[in-house]
Amino acid sequence: KAGVTQTPRYLIKTRGQQVTLSCSPISGHRSVSWYQQTPGQGLQFLFEYFSETQRNKGNFPGRFSGRQFSNSRSEMNVSTLELGDSALYLCASSLQGTNEKLFFGSGTQLSVL
């Protein structure tokens, strides 16, 4: 069974630009959650999608948004990038939700210059 796939693996953007990250969950998993990982703040929950609906949202500004498609694939978008958005963005999938065993992807390393 293929694992959670995140693309691209690395991204370099400049301030003010926007970026879209993609996550393909394990087949059959309907929940996809996103996390931001930085050395200073650690792992922080961004949002969770289940069956194309946002179920939970963390404490991030509205510049961070996401969506989920009918095949459970998810995208995360960050608009008007700031230097502080530089981070590793991790996606995780599970059958029903974040209360279950999460399967994480390798992440997308975003650098904002």
Q: Which stretch binds another protein (CB under 8 A): 13-21, 22-30, 48-56, 63-71?
A: 48-56
| Site mask for another protein (CB under 8 A), range 62-91, x = bound | ----------------------------x-
Among 41, 77, 80, 111, interactor with another protein by CB under 8 A: 41
Regarding 43 and contact with another protein (CB under 8 A), the answer is yes
Min dist CB 5 to another protein, Å, is 11
Q: Which DSSP string do the residues of 4-44 spell out, in sequence order?
A: -EEE-SEEEE-TT--EEEEEEPPTT--EEEEEEEETTTEEE
- Integer CA distances (angstroms), 52 to 62, 74, 99, in order: 18, 9, 18
Query: Using the rule CB under 8 A, which residue among 19, 23, 29, 35 binds another protein?
Result: 35
Cβ 26 vs Cβ 102: under 8 Å:
no
Which residue has 């963390």 as its token pair? 58
Report the C-alpha gap between 113 and 74 in whole angstroms.
Answer: 26
What residues line the site for another protein (CB under 8 A)? 3-4, 33, 35, 41-45, 47-48, 55-59, 90, 92, 97-99, 101-106
